[in-house]
Chains A and B, each alone.
Chain A
Amino acid sequence: MDIKIKDFEGPLDLLLHLVSKYQMDIYDVPITEVIEQYLAYVATLQAMRLEVAGEYMVMASQLMLIKSRKLLPKVADELDQVEDLEQDLLSQIEEYRKFKVLGEKMADQHQVRALSYSKPKLELVYEEAELVHDKSTIDLFLAFAKVMAKKQEEFSQTHTTIVKD
């Protein structure tokens, strides 16, 4: 394994990478093998004492459930449950892949727009112009907060931010 966890945008991205190795339709991929690889990968990372994001752990537990359910003999009623869990995961990977590709396409499209440069609006000043008092303390606060947020995001290299909900 020579890929680092930080190369991936979360567990779905990692799964997508593992699945794409098979070069076949997502729904034909041997899911048990992929689960094995995923768990081995997370285990290796932990052995090396690397920080593994919580999301990878949550996904690992979901995968273990799918794998253990697959091992049990099939009861007619519960048959669908296992299949469902598996299908849900596959369609999740499928949908994630769609947006990953679209995101890349959007980046390409923005590249073209980024070739055209413009200048900020010129603030014209007149003697007769009267001040419209339509701004409040809130507007001032938000304006400065926005500038700060923009700059902070530009400098922060980490993707993990803890937000109090």
Chain B
Amino acid sequence: MSKLSEIEALLFVAGEDGLSLGQLAELLSMPVTGVSQSLEKLADKYQEDKDSSLALLETARTYKLVTKQDFAELLRAYSKAPINQSLSRASLETLSIIAYKQPITRVEIDDIRGVNSSGALAKLQAFELVCEAGKKEVLGRPNLYVTTDYFLDYMGINHLEELPAVEESELVAEESQLFKERRIEEEEQDENK
């Protein structure tokens, strides 16, 4: 039994929950540096082996055994795991506000969006992308919402700092892009009339 095969066995059983460096080091009684070296080796081994469908993924600071991205098309019809599903626009807006402005109350989210966000918030909580974290010390003591570790996994990142940033110039470009797309759609609709 090599160290690599031991790590593979552990990651296989852990599945989508994954294991952190610390957990692996403890289970294998190895130093953390040794584990991360072995993980790199394992990742390389998968990548070079054309007959292997597996890859190593690090999200939310845990390592998971996943299928290579090339198989997404093949697996889409078969797998219906929540992590591979996309969100509605309302949920996405709400999630982005929480992600960048956490901790935040529901009323504050409503103010930014200009609409009631209870539905989207309930959905995000059911998917465990956001959770309640304490209360705000104001009148009414409203709940504060933050993103979870699963949110990091959902985004494929390890830290919140890795979230996409937005530049002012980009905003203008995106906006006119959106506008152009809408214009084209509208023109098409006009032609169809």
Q: Which A residues contact B (CB, under 8 angstroms)?
A: 2-3, 9-13, 17, 20-21, 23, 25, 53, 55, 59, 92, 95-122, 124, 146, 149-150, 153, 158-161, 163
Contact = CB atoms under 8 A, between A and B. Distances in A.
A146 B113 contact: no
Interface string B62-98: 0011111101100100010111111111101101110
A109 B164 contact: yes
Contacts of B90: 9, 159
A59 B114 contact: yes
Chain B: number of interface residues, binned into ranges: 35 or more
Given A106-B99, A150-B126, A153-B122, A21 B179 contact: yes
B16 A118 contact: yes
Given A106-B163, A117-B75, A163 B118 contact: yes
A108 B174 CA distance: 14
Contacts, number: 170
**A-B CB proximity, top 8 nearest:** A113-B156, A10-B115, A12-B114, A116-B66, A149-B126, A115-B69, A103-B96, A118-B16
A119 B53 CA distance: 13
Contacts of B112: 92, 95-96, 99
A92 B118 CA distance: 20
A41 B16 CA distance: 48
A83 B57 CA distance: 52
B43 interface: no
A99 B97 contact: yes
A154 to B, nearest CB: 8
B189 A121 contact: no
A71 to B, nearest CB: 25
Contact of A107 (B84, B92, B153, B175): B92
